[in-house]
Amino acid sequence: MAILAATALALAAGPGLPNSLTGLTVVGPYVVLLLGAAISAWFNRARALVLLASLLVAFAGYSMAFDLDPNGFAVRATFTVLAVLVPVNVLLALAFPERGVRQHRNYRWLLLGLAEILIAIWIANAGRSSLSGAAWRDVLDHWLLRSPPTPLAARVLIAAAFAAALLRAWPRQKPKELRKEPRPLDISLAAALAAFFIGCEWVAEPGAFGAFMSAAGIVVLIAVLQESHRLAFRDELTNLPSRRALEERLPGLGPVYTIAMVDVDRFKQFNDTHGHDIGDQVLKLVAARLAGVEGGGVSYRYGGEEFCIVFPDRSIDQAIPHLERLREDVEKYRMAVRGGDRPRDKGEGMRLRSARASERTLSVTVSIGAAERDDTLIGPSLVIRAADEALYRAKHAGRNRVMR
């Protein structure tokens, strides 16, 4: 939203760009939207590509119609059709799961886009050559073009698409430990729609429409880059920083630090008994406990059922009490397992959880091995190896304990 506010303030401040730079208000949206669409296709983000391509076609179509006839029926009809079709495309993209750009039968989006362009051209040319065309133009004037600047139909569809984008971005009603943070890309769809609506409302102002189209493109482009960074450095299942993020962090550690390796006890046996879906829930819930570790520790998903905790600027004596509390927290926590027969009705779900609490809750334990940097363990890889050896000793000593 900061980008939208900055765009509005820049337009309100006036008097605009110098004459030598006024071309940016025309060329800028093309550059931003084309770049965003290309990066979205490269990173395989279908929803972002659909929105950016729709905005690009809308801006290009309106600009061409405006250049041909600034005050005529064609420009108003083109604006109306494009203002309606952009949120329609977003609603269609949100109605289906994100499958990426490179998917089976992705040509259907191309056919839909071509059909929409032909519809816009046909409506823009209505009424030029016949009485029936003039009658059709009168109908459009009366029902679609009478609520300037943004037609009523477009306002309703933009509001619906905005609400749908917010619903997708908003965390679902799940236990706190299973909720995922809203993704930047989901939020950016709603922000870009807001920018598109503001641009439509200011379409009569020179440069305003292009400025807000650029703002919409910048919002989505930044979100695509943030999403790609998140996928690279954050584990999708547990929402903890990934092993790659750990490897990026290790070289920056100072002369004093402690590393702990954490492993879920008997996880393979647990997974075989209860199934992989329940096993994934267990990993998420254990990760939620690790994410709250105190003492300045930062938890990472290391691989499988193994995690790593880094305590920068902490000796092992300072870190051990926090690891003990973490181990006890995991041991005492009773995890409510979400089965496939979970009812839709909230009240019914609460009744079943009370009646079947004993069979729907599970608990696990973790073993932890810790090591600190010293004169013999002078590198992070050596400290991790020592922490792994301490973890194996904790396993052999009976599990559910912290060893150093």
Known catalytic residues are 305
Upper half-sphere CA count for residue 395 (Cβ side, 13 Å): 14
**At CB < 8 A and 24+ separation, what contacts does 343-352 make?**
346/173
- Smallest Cα–Cα separation from 289: which of 231, 182, 363, 236? 363
CB 370 within 8 A of CB 384: no
Asked whether 308 and 299 are in contact (CB, 8 A), the reply is yes
d(CA 130, CA 125): 11
Percent helix, strand and coil across the chain, each to the nearest 5: 65, 10, 25
* CB atoms inside a 10 Å sphere around CB 331: 13
- Listed in order, strand segments (DSSP E) in 72-112 are none
Give the distance from CA 332 to its chain's centroid: 33
Of 143, 151, 189, nearest to 170 by C-alpha is 189
Angstrom distance (rounded) from CA 167 to CA 160: 11
